[in-house]
């Protein structure tokens, strides 16, 4: 059977045919007269530099390259479905092509519609999809700008002064609270400025400003400034409740979600769960409320109830529509499975998620997957593998200045080492703790617990029981800065 051409060879060949270029023309354009284009195409691997040079020589528009790439990926996907009959594969491809045609037509219509959307007034139901599509494009233009420049752009650029961009920036701020708090705060400020420029009926403008105004307090909550967060959220709620959004354009469950998170961090768990139950009932995205409820139950130490709630959430999340939320639900569930010793169930979830995390290119979630795999390996008794994975995840979290995660993983490594009688290695490991003591990412009570463990490790008197005790405390204290440590 002849060897199949490589992906890059197929891509270059198809593009050359599409652009009606001869091999000699491509060789001349790429200035590779000493090499035969045909010979290059026959290679098993075409190196990056040469591949990029040939792509540039062919000169196809980026959209053409994407379309041809998708076609070749679909062909290669047939190998993954080799267990299906030819009829099954044809039925699948017919369905995929039909869906792609509908999606392309819908997106084309949305782009055309977005060009003519009004900048004032309450949005019409038929305009929502186009407005959100346009907001995605506007966000791409803003996301890499320095904060001062982004603020200036939205103040003077009429096309950026719309509710959908405000909604988009708010979502990005929520996402960044678990990654980069200064960036999350900057995005919350940007959302407020966008909201201030929105024009339309007074009630609608008030509702948009209330929606945006709740996201700055959310960042304050995560930094532990709970009193300031509560005051800011009350101000945002006043604008929200004074406003009007009869069609529920902005998610009516969003502020309930954010208030629940604040109550959770205030240890007012009954109120937090009540707000989340309300959010699930009214939100356009009830799965978010369920995921947050599962997390709240985890913080409470109610791991079995957290598992039950997250399993309900997973059934509601559409992977294609909300790929990141799909990941979060499964990673949170896997983490809770680890808490209750169901490591086999956790393995299945992490394996399911890993490919999607790689596809999204989410660096922080990739590190979390690595850490979870280490925790699971430890639970399954694969100690050497666990230490390797936990150590790698710890080093990567340190590179991201995510110090609390570093502390958790360090303690998990210490448990394994102490169980093997490697007190000297633990003594070396805790030499990294002073870096955590100097950071702002670990609160006072947690630092005290870590300090106690460090002192014992320095004397080679630490035990695996003490390490587990501190570790359990750190899991609980992450979201309860008033929780006292009692060894």
Average pLDDT, the chain: 86
**Residue 375 forms part of a structural domain:** no
Buried b (16+ CB within 10 A) or exposed e, 355-392: ebbeeeebebbbbbbbbbbbbbbbbeeeeeebbebbbb
Average pLDDT in the 168-182 region? 91
**Residue 437 forms part of a structural domain:** yes
Q: Is the pLDDT of residue 2 over 70?
A: no
CA separation (Å) from 271 to 9, 90, 180, 385, 402?
60, 53, 28, 42, 29
Give me the number of domains the chain comprises.
Answer: 3
Structure tokens at 322: 């909300």
How many CB atoms sit inside 10 A of residue 218's CB?
25
| CA pseudo-torsion sign 128, 130, 136, 142 | negative
- The model's confidence at residue 1, banded by pLDDT at 50, 70 and 90, is very low
Cα distance between residue 394 and residue 471, in whole Å: 14
Instruction: For residue 120, list its beta bridge partners.
Output: 199
Q: How far is CA 25 from the centre of its chain?
A: 45
Structure tokens at 414: 């210490």
Buried b (16+ CB within 10 A) or exposed e, 177-205: beebbebbbbbbbbbbbbbbbbebeeebb
367-409 pLDDT per residue, tens: 999 999 999 999 999 999 999 999 999 999 888 888 888 888 9
Instruction: Looking at the structure, tell me whether residues 79 and 150 fall in a common domain.
Output: no
Instruction: Looking at the structure, tell me whether residues 137 and 72 fall in a common domain.
Output: no
Task: Record the pTM.
Answer: 0.71
Q: What is the pLDDT of residue 438?
A: 66
The last residue of one of the domains, among 250, 283, 304, is: 250
203-261 pLDDT per residue, tens: 999 999 999 999 999 999 988 788 999 999 999 999 999 999 999 999 999 999 999 99
3-state secondary structure of 120: strand
The last residue of one of the domains, among 250, 284, 306, is: 250
Tell me the residue range of the domain where 203 lies.
Answer: 128-250
**Residue 188 forms part of a structural domain:** yes
The last residue of one of the domains, among 209, 231, 250, is: 250
Instruction: Looking at the structure, tell me whether residues 77 and 138 fall in a common domain.
Output: no
Structure tokens at 212: 């945006």
């Amino acid at each position: 059977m002849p060897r199949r051409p490589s992906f890059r060879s197929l891509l270059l060949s198809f593009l050359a045919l599409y652009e009606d270029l001869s091999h000699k023309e491509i060789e001349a354009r790429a200035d590779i007269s000493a090499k035969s284009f045909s010979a290059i195409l026959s290679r098993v691997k075409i190196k990056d530099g040469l591949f990029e040079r040939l792509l540039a020589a062919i000169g196809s528009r980026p959209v053409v390259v994407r379309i041809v790439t998708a076609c070749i990926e679909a062909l290669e996907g047939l190998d993954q479905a080799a267990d299906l009959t030819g009829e099954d594969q044809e039925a699948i491809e017919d369905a995929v092509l039909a869906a792609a045609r509908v999606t392309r037509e819908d997106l084309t219509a949305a782009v055309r519609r977005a060009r003519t959307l009004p900048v004032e007034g309450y949005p019409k139901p038929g305009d929502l999809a186009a407005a959100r599509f346009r907001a995605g494009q506007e966000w791409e233009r803003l996301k890499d700008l320095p904060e001062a420049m982004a603020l200036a752009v939205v103040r003077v650029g009429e096309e950026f002064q719309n509710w959908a961009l405000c909604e988009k920036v708010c979502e990005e701020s929520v996402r960044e609270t678990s990654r980069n708090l200064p960036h999350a705060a900057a995005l919350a400020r940007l959302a407020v400025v966008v909201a201030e420029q929105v024009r339309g009926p007074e009630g609608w403008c008030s509702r948009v400003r209330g929606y945006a105004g709740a996201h700055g307090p959310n960042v304050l909550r995560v930094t532990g400034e709970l009193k300031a967060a509560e005051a800011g959220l009350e101000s945002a709620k006043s604008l929200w409740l004074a406003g009007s959004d009869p069609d529920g354009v902005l998610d009516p469950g969003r502020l309930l979600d954010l208030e629940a998170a604040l109550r959770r961090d205030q240890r007012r768990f009954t109120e937090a769960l009540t707000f989340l139950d309300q959010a699930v009932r009214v939100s356009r995205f009830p799965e978010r409320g369920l995921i947050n409820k599962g997390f709240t139950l985890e913080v409470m130490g109610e791991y079995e109830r957290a598992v039950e709630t997250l399993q309900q959430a997973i059934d509601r999340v559409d992977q294609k529509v909300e790929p990141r939320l799909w990941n979060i639900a499964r990673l949170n569930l896997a983490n809770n499975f680890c808490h209750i010793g169901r490591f086999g169930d956790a393995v299945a979830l992490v394996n399911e998620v890993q490919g999607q995390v790689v596809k999204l290119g989410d660096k922080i979630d990739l590190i979390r997957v690595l850490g979870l795999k280490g925790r699971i390996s430890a639970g399954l008794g694969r100690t050497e593998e666990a230490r390797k994975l936990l150590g790698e995840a710890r080093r990567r979290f340190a590179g991201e200045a995510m110090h609390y995660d570093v502390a958790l993983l360090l303690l998990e490594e210490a448990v394994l080492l102490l169980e093997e009688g490697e007190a000297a290695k633990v003594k070396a490991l805790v030499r990294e703790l002073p870096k955590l003591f100097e950071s702002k990412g670990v609160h006072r009570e947690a630092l005290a617990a870590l300090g106690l463990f460090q002192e014992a490790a320095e004397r080679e008197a630490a035990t695996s029981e003490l390490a587990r005790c501190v570790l359990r405390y750190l899991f609980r204290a992450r979201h309860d800065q008033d929780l006292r440590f009692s060894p």
